Structure 1
């Protein structure tokens, strides 16, 4: 299996279709994305959307978010998902390594991510790549729309 990563730059139908296939594998509550929504995500200066292709087909995505703070440039990895049919081939690791390189090259001081405890394989990958559990609490407040 030939695997390549690239930065998504245009909200193509192929990318919209890939998100339609991949997002439900990441979150049961994620809303479907149309081309306009994908375009907004790609056009944000804070976002770098990486895609991994396995034999030419989009098999995974990752969003790197970088943002300046008074304490320095920070980065977060969000929404890492690899198609169930393509797991076990190192796709997530390649996406992560590319995101780490981009963040480092941009001058980010740190890079964070969150992961549910039940995602054992993902958590092992993150630890293998050098991420460490942080002594911090994560708070979330739902905002009703």
Structure 2
């Protein structure tokens, strides 16, 4: 059984290695210092909410990072579910599902209209999880980005 809770700056040493591994999954170089700095800034500036999964012994098993954003069209708050990662040793135990359910509860509790996420086209495992939880693939809007 895992415990899902809100992370604080005191959890930086637990989250940073998971975040570094998450970035490696998305083909970035392993950089624990960059991971630690990024997470530290998000938490200290209160720019994100991080949900941390731990086992009974306190070992970090995974995390979700949420960013508050707003829909001008709906005139409501939404949450961007930006990052979801479960350690290799904890996969297959339902940790990702528990984290997703806690994120949904956080969105409801904060009065958000919906949660939004994106994932790699090739990440079919995550897509199956999202769809099993009721997430719908957007077929209306096309998303673009511009590097600056």
State the TM-score, normalizing by the size of structure 1.
0.85
Structure 1 window deviating more from structure 2 (94-103 vs 46-55): it is: 46-55
> 1:80-127: CA deviations, max 9, x gaps?
111122111101111111011001111111211011221111111101
Unaligned runs of 5+ in 2: none
- Tell me the distance in 2 between the aligned counterparts of 1:45 and 1:22: 21
> 1:61-87: CA deviations, max 9, x gaps?
111112344411111101111112211
Residue in 2 that maps onto 1:24? 24
Residue in 2 that maps onto 1:131? 135
- Map 1:1-145 to 2 at 5 A: 2-11=1-10, 12-25=12-25, 27-29=26-28, 32=31, 33=34, 35-55=36-56, 56-70=58-72, 71-135=75-139, 136-143=141-148
- Alpha-carbon distance, 1:30 to partner: 6.1
- Alpha-carbon distance, 1:13 to partner: 2.4
Equivalenced residue count is: 141
Query: What value does the CA root-mean-square deviation take over the aligned residues?
Result: 2.0
8 Å Cα contact 1:67-1:75 kept in structure 2: yes
8 Å Cα contact 1:22-1:60 kept in structure 2: no
> 1:6-37: CA deviations, max 9, x gaps?
11111532332333344323x21267335443
Hey, which bits of structure 1, 4+ residues long, moved more than 4 A? none
